[in-house]
């Protein structure tokens, strides 16, 4: 696919739609979680209010350059992830900046934000931030392994590294989706998905009752607002990857909204049911359950 | 309770005995007899738990009373040991080597009553009253209202009612 | 002053010796600045609306009233539906609830937490103890007038006020914020010397910088 200038405003439009959708959907998921606890839950537009509130704070302090950069890195991870994969398959407007090798780039962007956060959290100097980020990094590294294995299995299966081509191969009925043609790889990837969604039982880097609230302890005002944006955007961007790789992609916006919501809901349901792991339990869980499935997926392709 | 007292009495010189309930009694012990009695109660009578260590200021008799309350968990029996100290020179031997929790109580007693426990760990640390520079506040010659009025600003307009009178006026206004 | 706060020479793991003065090195002693409303009126009103509908409370219970805050998170009261939530760190919190009596030792921590919060910030005095001392009016160890030590936006009377009273107070606080009258942080910065003098009068062992943000 050749690059055209018109793609830039189109991509920005995608970004805007996805961010607005992400804010409402995250609130809806929070509401569903609250209903599971028999609460009414937050208002559906609460995430926007929190965002505006944080932007409107008048004072802010800094702990150094990396403290500034970390939220930017983090948001770059989310936006980059979204922009380099096709959001709506077959649409010239919303295919974004996808290109032949974008699968590898996406893998990289998933990790990018966490690394940026590690630098910023270390600079903030708060002990909880350091504990949180060391837990978070070890878990994300571990959760990334089954996902990488499963992505390789799929790359071998479809003989391509382009997300667009993988989506194209899945068109024509849901029996063509990877989830049915290669269930092992999808199982491994969904296990890894749980680990990177920052929800219990894998929210051990935030651990609200233990090291409140982990890496972003020192972040406030606009820094926090940036990170909040990413907190809503990044999971959706990640779900977009999953949707494209495993669930047949989306050919129009309503299908996109529905599929993203359902995939996201999967992690929310798991989170409502299970309590938090400790870091060694979580890593052992990935080692014992997710990684062998991923290896099997590669072997059986 | 009385048989425990009689049993102890054959071994140690004991003071007065108060039989509070079936499962609670108080025994007055000499200052230098406290440690052997504690050891005996812990090792031979099953009083394995130090419930609390507190003090009473008997200002009229010019002495402090320390109360060591021990509990026998299996028999649900409590016994309190009273030790009388001279108010002019309130120093007591530490028992943190028998029950480590005692160190916290002793730290608090040092701060609130000014009773010293030499060699107790952290006994001179600030516990609740950081930077306190007056008489220890739990001593009865310390006037807490006077101190409060002098130290903390108060808001005008505070009224105090006698609860009984006030309710009478509220409920039966005709009879007042 | 505590030992760990004193100026001293430290030998690092590489054998390099350097001098540490914790009060100057670890804290910034700069006084707070007032941040008056900077934007056009319509923008400020919009921001005030956002601030009032998204109140983040510092998770710091100072007295017995802290027990009244917990039920607000439960299904029965569920304060989240009013845009209220709790943050574990003062950096992200906007509202500091002084929940009940404030002993001198806690006052010191409360001041530190308050100063670390970002402007605009609000203080809510919960219970009679924060108003005139309540039942601790003759205590040797609790302050009797909270607004001498930090600017208070709203008092809730009672001993203790029920969680419903807290919910009602959030609604009242929203009105105050929307009207643009919740400028406590600026009042604190403008009358900084007066507040500091009051604080130092009761906190005898002042072993922290004058302003810690």
Residue A1 has pLDDT above 60, yes or no: no
Q: Which residue of C has its CA nearest to A31?
A: C81
Contact C199/C111 with Cβ under 8 angstroms? yes
Interchain CB contact of A67 with C (< 8 Å): no
| Radius of gyration of chain B from its Cα atoms, rounded to whole angstroms | 21
Taking a C-beta distance cutoff of 8 angstroms, is the pair A282, A142 a contact?
Answer: yes
Task: Give the residue on C whose Cα is nearest the Cα of A228.
Answer: C92
- Specify the fold of C38-202: Rossmann fold (3.40.50)
Give pLDDT tens digits for A147-166.
Answer: 989 988 988 888 888 888 88
For residue A278, is pLDDT > 70?
yes
Residue A209 has what pLDDT? 67
Domain ranges for chain A, please list them.
7-300
Which residues does residue C18 pair with via DSSP β-bridges, in sequence order? C10
Q: Please report the beta strands in A178-229, taking only residues with DSSP state E, as ranges in sequence order.
A: none
Residue B176: what pLDDT?
Answer: 62
Q: Which of B130, B155, B158 faces C105 most closely, judged by CB atoms?
A: B130
Q: Which residues, given as ranges, of chain C have pLDDT below 70?
A: 1, 28-29
pLDDT at B158: 82
CB of A64 within 8 Å of any CB in chain C? no
Which of B112, B113, B131 should be substituted to probe chain C, the one whose Cβ sees the most C Cβ atoms within 10 Å? B131
Neighbours of C67 (CB within 10 A): 13
Of B131, B148, B153, the CB nearest to C138: B148
**Which residue did the predictor score with more confidence, A98 or B167?**
B167
Task: Tell me what pLDDT residue B100 has.
Answer: 93
Q: Which of B90, B118, B111 is closest to B31 using CA atoms?
A: B90
Name the residue among A42, A212, A218 with its Cβ closest to that of C80.
A42
The pLDDT value given to residue B82: 93
What is the model's pLDDT at position B57? 93
ipTM for this prediction: 0.86
Give one DSSP letter per residue of B53-89, joined into a string.
Answer: EEEEEETTTTEEEEEEEEEETTTTEEEEEEEEEESSS
Assess whether pLDDT exceeds 80 at residue A125.
Answer: no
pLDDT at A207: 67
Collapsed DSSP state (helix, strand, coil) of residue B118:
coil
C107, C140 Cβ separation under 8 angstroms: no
* pLDDT over threshold 80, residue A180: yes
What do you get for the CA distance between the two ends of chain B, in Å?
52
Q: Tell me whether residues B148 and C131 touch, CB distance under 8 A.
A: no
User: Which member of A43, A61, A208 has the closest CB to residue C213?
Assistant: A61
- C125, C141, C199, C201: best mutation site toward chain B, by most B Cβ within 10 Å? C141
Can you give the pLDDT of all 176 residues of chain B as single tens digits?
Answer: 888 899 898 998 888 899 988 899 999 999 999 999 999 999 999 999 999 999 999 999 999 999 999 999 999 999 999 999 999 999 999 999 999 999 999 999 999 999 999 999 988 888 888 888 889 999 999 999 899 988 888 888 888 888 898 898 889 988 76
Whether B contacts A, i.e. 3 or more CB pairs less than 8 A apart, is no
Contact residues for B118 (Cβ-Cβ < 8 A; gap 6+)? B91, B94
Q: Which residues does B contribute to its contact with C (CB < 8 Å)? A: 126, 128-133, 137, 142, 144-145, 147-149, 151-155, 157-158
Q: What CATH code is assigned to B2-153? A: 3.30.460.80
If one counts every other C-beta atom within 10 angstroms of the C-beta of residue A16, the result is 10
Look at C53 and A208 and tell me if their CB atoms are within 8 Å.
Answer: no
**What percent of chain A is predicted at pLDDT more than 70?**
98
Is it the case that chain A and chain C have 3 or more CB pairs lying under 8 Å apart?
Answer: yes
Interface test with C, best of B108, B133, B152 (most C CBs within 10 A): B152
Q: Are B48 and B42 in contact (CB under 8 A)?
A: yes
- From chain C residues 61-80, the ones with a CB under 8 A of any chain B CB are none
Contact B152 C143 (CB under 8 A): yes
Distance to chain C for A59, nearest Cα, Å: 5
Chain C interface includes A138 (CB < 8 A) = no
To test the contact with chain C by mutation, choose from A40, A57, A224, A231 the residue with the greatest count of C C-beta atoms within 10 A, namely A57
């Amino acid at each position: 696919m050749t690059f055209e200038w018109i793609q830039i405003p189109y991509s920005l439009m995608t970004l805007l739609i996805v961010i607005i959708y992400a804010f409402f959907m995250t609130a809806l998921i929070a509401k569903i979680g609250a209903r599971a606890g028999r609460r009414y839950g937050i208002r559906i537009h609460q995430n926007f209010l929190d965002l505006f509130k944080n932007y409107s704070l008048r004072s802010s302090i800094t702990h150094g350059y990396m403290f500034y950069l970390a939220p930017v890195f983090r948001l770059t991870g989310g936006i980059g992830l979204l922009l380099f994969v096709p959001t709506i398959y077959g649409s010239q407007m919303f295919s974004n900046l996808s290109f032949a090798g974008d699968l590898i780039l996406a893998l990289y962007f998933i990790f990018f934000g966490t690394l940026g956060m590690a630098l910023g959290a270390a600079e903030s100097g708060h002990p909880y931030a350091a504990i949180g980020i060391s837990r978070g990094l070890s878990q994300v590294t571990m959760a990334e392994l089954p996902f990488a294995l499963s992505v390789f299995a799929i790359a071998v299966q479809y003989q391509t590294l382009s997300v667009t081509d993988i989506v194209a191969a899945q068109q024509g009925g849901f029996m063509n989706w990877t989830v049915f043609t290669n269930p092992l790889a999808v199982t491994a990837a969904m296990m890894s998905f749980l680990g990177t969604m920052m929800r219990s039982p894998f929210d051990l880097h935030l651990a609200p009752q233990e090291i409140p609230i982990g890496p972003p302890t020192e972040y406030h005002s606009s820094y926090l607002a940036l990170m909040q944006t990413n907190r809503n955007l990044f999971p959706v961007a990640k779900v977009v990857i999953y949707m494209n790789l495993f669930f047949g992609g989306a050919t129009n916006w309503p299908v996109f909204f529905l599929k993203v919501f359902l995939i996201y809901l999967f992690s929310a349901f798991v989170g409502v049911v299970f309590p938090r792991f400790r870091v060694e339990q979580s890593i052992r869980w990935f080692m014992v359950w997710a990684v062998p499935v991923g290896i099997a997926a590669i072997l059986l392709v | 309770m009385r048989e425990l007292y009689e049993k102890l009495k054959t071994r140690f010189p004991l003071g007065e005995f108060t039989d509070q309930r079936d499962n609670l009694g108080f025994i007055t012990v000499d200052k230098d007899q406290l440690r052997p009695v504690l050891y005996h109660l812990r090792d031979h009578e099953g009083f394995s738990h130090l419930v609390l260590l507190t003090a009473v200021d008997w200002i009229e008799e010019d002495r402090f009373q320390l109360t060591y309350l021990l509990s026998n968990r299996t028999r649900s029996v409590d016994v309190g040991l009273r030790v009388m100290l001279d108010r002019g020179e309130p120093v007591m031997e530490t028992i943190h080597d028998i029950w480590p929790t005692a160190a916290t109580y002793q730290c608090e007693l040092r701060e609130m009553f000014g009773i010293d426990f030499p060699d107790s760990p952290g006994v001179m640390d600030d516990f609740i009253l950081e930077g306190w520079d007056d008489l220890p506040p739990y001593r009865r010659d310390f006037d807490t209202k006077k101190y409060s009025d002098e130290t903390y600003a108060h808001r005008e307009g505070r009224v105090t009612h006698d609860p009984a009178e006030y309710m009478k006026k509220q409920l039966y206004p005709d009879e007042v | 002053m505590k030992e760990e706060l004193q100026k001293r020479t430290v030998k690092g793991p590489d054998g390099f010796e350097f001098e540490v003065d914790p009060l100057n090195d670890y804290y910034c002693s700069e006084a707070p600045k007032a941040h008056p409303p900077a934007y056009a009126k319509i923008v400020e009103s919009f921001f005030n609306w956002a601030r009032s509908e998204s109140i983040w409370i510092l998770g710091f219970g100072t007295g017995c009233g802290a027990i009244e805050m917990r039920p607000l998170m439960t299904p029965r009261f569920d304060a989240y539906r009013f845009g209220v939530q709790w943050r574990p760190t003062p950096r992200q919190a906007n509202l500091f609830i002084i929940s009940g009596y404030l002993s001198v030792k806690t006052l010191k921590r409360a001041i530190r937490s308050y100063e670390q919060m970002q402007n605009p910030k609000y203080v809510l005095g919960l219970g009679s103890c924060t108003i005139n001392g309540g039942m601790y009016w003759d205590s040797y160890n609790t302050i009797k007038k909270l607004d001498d030590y930090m600017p208070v936006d709203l008092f809730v009377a009672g001993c203790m006020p029920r969680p419903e009273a807290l919910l009602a107070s959030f609604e009242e606080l929203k009105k105050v914020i929307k009207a643009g009258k919740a400028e406590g942080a600026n009042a604190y910065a403008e009358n900084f010397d007066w507040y500091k003098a009051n604080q130092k009068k009761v906190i005898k062992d002042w072993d922290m910088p004058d302003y810690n943000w």
